[in-house]
Amino acid sequence: MKNQIRTAGVATALCALALPALAQDAAPDTTPPMADIGYIFTTFMFLVAGFLVFWMAAGFTMLEAGLVRQKNTTMQLMKNVALFSFAAVLYYLVGYNLMYPGDGNWIVEGWIGAFSLAALEPVGLADTATDLTYASVGSDFFFQLMFCATTASIVSGTLAERIKLWPFLFFVIVLTGVIYPIQASWKWGGGYLDAQLGFLDFAGSTVVHSVGGWAALAGALILGPRLGKYKDGRVHPMPGANLPLATLGTFILWLGWFGFNGGSQLYMDTAGNVADISRIFANTNTAAAGGAITALILTQLLYGKPDLTMVLNGALAGLVSITAEPLMPTLGSATLIGAVGGAIVVFAVPFLDRLRIDDVVGAIPVHLFCGIWGTLAVLATNPDATVTGQVLSIVIVGAFVFVCSAALWLALRAVTGIRVSEEDEITGLDVAELGMESYPEFSKG
């Protein structure tokens, strides 16, 4: 910390080596060289956006912990902390370079990136001729990692209350280390979806959200519904145990989404870029509001009483829907895009139930259906988008992720089993698998 002598000394020395450009003459002057300024802006923007997206991990955790039954709450917390941790390490070990091989390092150009550990710049950018036109690798890695972790968080919600801990974590390891990065490289790594198909997905309605959704859908189909969810031809709701937590989680996600979408502008080095980030913040917010209001009004009309869990899903639906193109729409279109997302959720939740696909927190409607909707909505707001580019990419990414995920789930089911025993499911995973209750106290005394 405040130890100006050492730190400043090191920093200045290192910079002097690395950045001869535009040096100021006054000796102790720390005015940044002109060339550094854009780099500092963009890098710092990534760090701020990155910590906001990190915060979404807490949001998913609280949302899911609030929407499961009490007897599975500790497990849901455990899964979320663990999945984020594994995602962080796997993205370092494999994911980052698989997703961003850079020019000429692809194993199969445009299709499969590079296998190597992620490496940051040297301290103080020493002895490197850093490209100052973008941002630091460290900030980019930090930011991108959070997107990867988000994908895994989506899966945990759908499969809650019945999946075993370790097979789930094994799936997360493969998802975050391999499946996510490979398909993400096709678009964001500059691969063939980007180069050949002109696919547009600004912040990842498809690349992140629908990917999580497809993996979740494959899991839900193979894992089957919770015991008693569909019995005697009827749906038996299993209300979430703690709605304040679910609401908190939604607000956290809403907040984190400003980083998710805003940071995806990737540059904050000009007035134009920062003005665009502002547009994105405003559009992201209004899309969430549109989704929430729509779900509120629709559940009031359809069921006579507004449903808080649907309103929360509606806000998230709005956020996912605007994610493929948060920049181009006007405030009005952004609100409408979000509103359609909110409507999708209200109809998709009971629709999935009719198909007996048991999605505990509504992740498939929110992330998969609205992810698709958001990706298609780009056609309406961004003239560069093409029907082929959007539709084909949705299909290709969907097929790839669904097939890989299904294969992996089936393999896991065959080898270790993925579902807890009936008895354990009835007892609850907290006691059965962890021996730890979320609210263990019986008596207040």
Partner 1 sequence: MKLIIATIKPFKLEEVRRALTAVGVRGMMVTEIKGFGSQSGHTEIYRGAEYAVNFVPKIKLEIVVPDTMADQVTDTIATAARTAKIGDGKIFVLDVAAALRVRTGETDDDAL
State the Cα–Cα distance between residues 220 and 225, nearest whole angstrom. 7
Using the minimum distance from each CB to a copy of itself, give the nearer residue, 222 or 297. Answer: 297
Identify which range of 98-106, 242-250, 299-307, 401-409 contacts partner 1 by CB under 8 A. 299-307
Write the CA distances from 40 to 59, 261, 396, integer angstroms: 29, 20, 37
Report the partner that residue 358 touches, choosing among a copy of itself, partner 1, none (CB closer than 5 to 8 A by kind).
Answer: none
Helical residues (DSSP H) of 224-307, grouped into ranges: 243-263, 271-303
Among 346, 394, 401, 408, binds partner 1 (CB under 8 A): 346
Does residue 445 touch partner 1 according to CB under 8 A? yes
Question: Coil, strand, or helix at residue 230?
Answer: strand
State the Cα–Cα distance between residues 399 and 196, nearest whole angstrom. 18
Using the minimum distance from each CB to partner 1, give the nearer residue, 276 or 307. Answer: 307
**Residue 350 Cβ, how far from partner 1 at the closest point, in Å?**
3
Report the partner that residue 167 touches, choosing among a copy of itself, partner 1, none (CB closer than 5 to 8 A by kind).
Answer: none
**Residue 119 Cβ, how far from a copy of itself at the closest point, in Å?**
7
Report the partner that residue 353 touches, choosing among partner 1, a copy of itself, none (CB closer than 5 to 8 A by kind).
Answer: partner 1
State the Cα–Cα distance between residues 293 and 311, nearest whole angstrom. 7
Number of Cβ atoms within 10 Å of the Cβ of 426: 12
Residues 362-381 that bind partner 1 (CB under 8 A): 362
Got the DSSP string for 108-174? BTTTB-------PPPGGGTT----TTS--HHHHHHHHHHHHHHHHHHHHHHTTTTB-HHHHHHHHHH
Number of residues that bind partner 1 (CB under 8 A): 24
**Residue 112, beta-bridge partner list:** 108
Q: What is the DSSP letter of 225?
A: P
Does residue 237 touch partner 1 according to CB under 8 A? yes
b vs e for 277-295, b when ≥16 Cβ sit within 10 Å of the residue's Cβ? bebbbebbbbbbbbbbbbb
Identify which range of 147-155, 195-203, 277-285, 301-309 contacts partner 1 by CB under 8 A. 301-309
Among 64, 269, 307, 358, binds partner 1 (CB under 8 A): 307
Report the partner that residue 386 touches, choosing among partner 1, a copy of itself, none (CB closer than 5 to 8 A by kind).
Answer: none
Using the minimum distance from each CB to a copy of itself, give the nearer residue, 58 or 216. Answer: 58
Among 105, 303, 356, 417, binds partner 1 (CB under 8 A): 303
Residues 32-71 that bind partner 1 (CB under 8 A): none
Number of Cβ atoms within 10 Å of the Cβ of 417: 11
Site for partner 1, rule CB under 8 A? 234-237, 239, 302-305, 307, 309-310, 346, 349-350, 353, 362, 426, 435-436, 442-445
